[in-house]
Amino acid sequence: MAIVALFGLAAFSTAAQAINSRPISVYPVPKTPVASDSTGFSFRGVKPGDLGPIKVVGTRSGRHGGSRVPHSDGRGVSWVPKSDFRTGEYVRVQTRRNLVRSGNSRFWVRIGRFYGNDDKPAGPGEPKPRDGLKSRPDLKPVTLDVLESEVESTAGKIFFAPKEDGLSIADRFGRISYFQPIGFGSKGNQVWNFQRRIYRNRQVLTYWKGPSSSQQASPVGRFSQIGHYVILDNNYRRIARFTPGNGYGSNIHEFEITPRDTALVAAYRGVRRDLRPVGGKKNGKILDNVVQEIDLKTGAVLFEWHGIGSVAIKASEAPVPKDGSLWDFLHINAAKTDADSYLLSGRRMSTIYRVDRRTARVKWRLRGDGKKPKTNNFELGDGADFGYQHDMKRLANGDISLFDNSINRPESPLPEIHDQSSALILNLSDTEKGREATLVERYNHEPDPVVSRSQGSAQQLEDGNVFVGWGSVSRMTEFTPEGDIAFDATFDDAEESSYRASRAPWRGLPGGRPAIASKATGSGATVWASWNGATLIRHWKVFTGSDPGELEEIGASSWKGLETEIPVDSVKAKVQVVAYGDEDEELGRSKLVSLDRQSR
């Protein structure tokens, strides 16, 4: 359909003249070729009451009514349609404001031609055995096997999440202090991207959770699962749960809390496109990559970027499937804020993009395999090449860190960049010859190289150490700035993987009371004490007696991990455990329960 004819079909009133002012941004941006059939339109850079009238017309569905959601920062408003648009149709939007990337007050987007059913979860998975701790049978944490832990290791907790086991927090000795299983003992769920973040000046935990079995129910497989993003406070209470806006399903790859206390997330959706120009079929299947910034107070979309229409699909390293199956041409696996822009990682392009937050245009490209885009590209210095990367971010000094997989999945035809995976720090600079990326440091696991074909993370800590999660390999390593290993550990399930792993300060204060279990052993007993998530416990004491007001101390032990076993020589009919902190202050006490009984 010719665009000139499109707007000629039903002319807007000539009375609707654009206000002559600084253009405001709108998302999805004008001429987006694959907008969602449930899309709204988000206007940024305008007070909610100053936007004026909006007219929205689909070429097949007609005029749409909608509601408005003011953005919580007072700098924008979202228009949300009351009914969905039709796939493949053009949608015309008329305002009275000048719009970025429009040149005037009106614009169009086209609704994608989507296929399949990517919002129908499969049935629940098989139950997972509940043979966990003595005091908490519902908890069966992973075992962290510490191979090396030096004094140069940075203080703080370690955060990782074997995706079919659960959220895990440990110390540098491998002692687990918090474990949240997937849920209800089911193997049908997974968790990804477990991180400690800062939200509203408080420490919080963030992660994605969803049914792994929906991989079989979705045409885009594991990339567009039915799940949600979660934020927990330091009492482990849920303070937020949400999904992307405009009708998209959540994606496992990214959930970042920005300095603006908003969420940056990714979404994938399968669309039909003519792929003959790149060797595919006329009605080919391609995966669109969507990045959104979400207002956590209102759920409104503050920014939306689409890979299709923004990145040349012919630049992909991944060949178009000859059998007509889904083409994952880009594979956005990380998104981070970067001043007035975003950094996006395209795994299938081996490229990092810097995208302007106001215009959604690509400002520059850093391609790790040395192939040069025609514009806005960097020359690579010696040793600065990388491939199929994950988890890039801007460092405080302006450098870029990333996890360089260098080797793709076995079934992938993409070439190997290096013979092992590593963490990488690059310096980006402008020279007389142009833009250049030079190697600052590469952290290889020596003398035992690690090959991680998917997932992974690299985190520069405040003291300069670099903490690496090896993704598909169940391992994590901390390097000193000189490249020496300060910490190295594996976790017990070699078939599991933790999408990312990181280290950060954490003070956990769970609600409720400690859990207790006991077992008589002749005249004495063995007592087990736990308090899931409590990080301030330094030692436990065991008391016995029949009256809560007249208890006798019969045993004690330092904290030894999520569950501490305490033998006692003599015991009466009932027992109780009490947790104490550094100054011997009481933190919490269990119920007083009969011997041979478990309670929480």
**Predicted pLDDT at 22:** 86
Amino acid identity of 138?
A: D
Query: Does residue 308 or residue 214 have the better pLDDT?
Result: 308
Question: How would you class 323 by CB atoms within 10 Å of its CB: exposed for 0-12, middle for 13-18, buried for 19 or more?
Answer: exposed
Output the pLDDT for position 187: 54
For the cut 70, the answer to whether the pLDDT of residue 546 exceeds it is yes
Other C-beta atoms closer than 10 Å to the C-beta of 439 total 16
**pLDDT tens, residue by residue, 155-200:** 999 999 998 889 999 999 999 999 999 864 445 678 999 999 999 9
DSSP 413-461: -PPPSSSS-EEEEEEEEEETTEEEEEEEEEEE--SS-----S--EEEE-
With 50 as the cut, is the pLDDT of residue 217 above it?
A: no
The better pLDDT of the pair 493, 196 is held by 196
Please name the helix (run of DSSP H) or strand (run of DSSP E) that holds residue 488, with its range, or none: strand 485-491
pLDDT band at 376 (very low <50, low <70, confident <90, very high): low
**pLDDT per residue over 228-281, tens digit each?**
999 999 999 999 999 999 999 898 999 999 999 999 999 999 999 999 999 999
Residue 433 in this model has a pLDDT that exceeds 70: yes
pLDDT attached to residue 164: 84
pLDDT score, position 118: 43
479 pLDDT tier (thresholds 50, 70, 90): very high
Question: Per-residue pLDDT averaged across 472-483, rounded?
Answer: 96
- What pLDDT does residue 81 have? 98
Residue 339 above 70 pLDDT? yes
Backbone angles phi, psi at 401, to 5 degrees: -110, 155
- Which of 213-217, 498-502, 590-594 bottoms out in mean pLDDT, i.e. has the lowest? 213-217
Report pLDDT for 116.
62
| pLDDT value at residue 371 | 78
Task: State the sign of the Cα–Cα–Cα–Cα dihedral 425, 429, 434, 438.
Answer: negative
Mean pLDDT of the chain, nearest integer = 90
Q: What confidence score (pLDDT) does residue 374 get?
A: 64
Contact 68, 49 (CB under 8 A): no
Q: How do residues 551-568 score in pLDDT, each as one tens digit? A: 999 999 999 999 999 999
What is the mean pLDDT of the segment spanning 36-65?
97
Query: Is 329:103 a contact under the CB 8 Å cutoff?
Result: no
Instruction: Specify the pairing of strand 332-338 against strand 301-306.
Output: unpaired
pTM above 0.95, yes or no: no
- Model confidence band, residue 417 (pLDDT cutoffs 50, 70, 90): confident
The pair of structure tokens assigned to 111 is: 């609704």
> How much of the chain, in percent, has pLDDT values that exceed 70?
88
**Span 496-506, average pLDDT:** 95
For residue 186, the model assigns a pLDDT of: 47
- Sheet hosting strand 202-211, strand order edge to edge: 189-199, 202-211, 228-232, 238-242
C-alpha dihedral sign at 586, 587, 593, 598: negative
Element housing 190 (H / E): strand 189-199
Asked if residue 583 has pLDDT above 50, the reply is yes
Tell me how far apart the alpha carbons of residues 216 and 306 are, in angstroms, rounded to a whole number: 25
Residue 418 pLDDT > 80: yes
Token couple for 194? 């477990």
Q: Which range, 123-137, 310-324, 489-503, is most confident? A: 310-324
**The pLDDT of residue 536 is above 70:** yes
pLDDT band at 413 (very low <50, low <70, confident <90, very high): low
Mean pLDDT, residues 364-370: 91
Average pLDDT over residues 77-102: 97
Whole-number pLDDT of residue 523 = 81
Please state whether beta strands 434-444 and 379-380 pair in parallel, antiparallel, or not at all (unpaired): parallel
The predicted structure's pLDDT at residue 486: 97
Contact 530, 563 (CB under 8 A): yes
Tell me what pLDDT residue 493 has.
64
Residue with tokens 């408080």: 202
Rounded CA gap, 120 and 213, in Å?
11
For 295, the token pair is 């207002």
pLDDT at 20 over 70: no
Per-residue model confidence (pLDDT) at position 120:
40
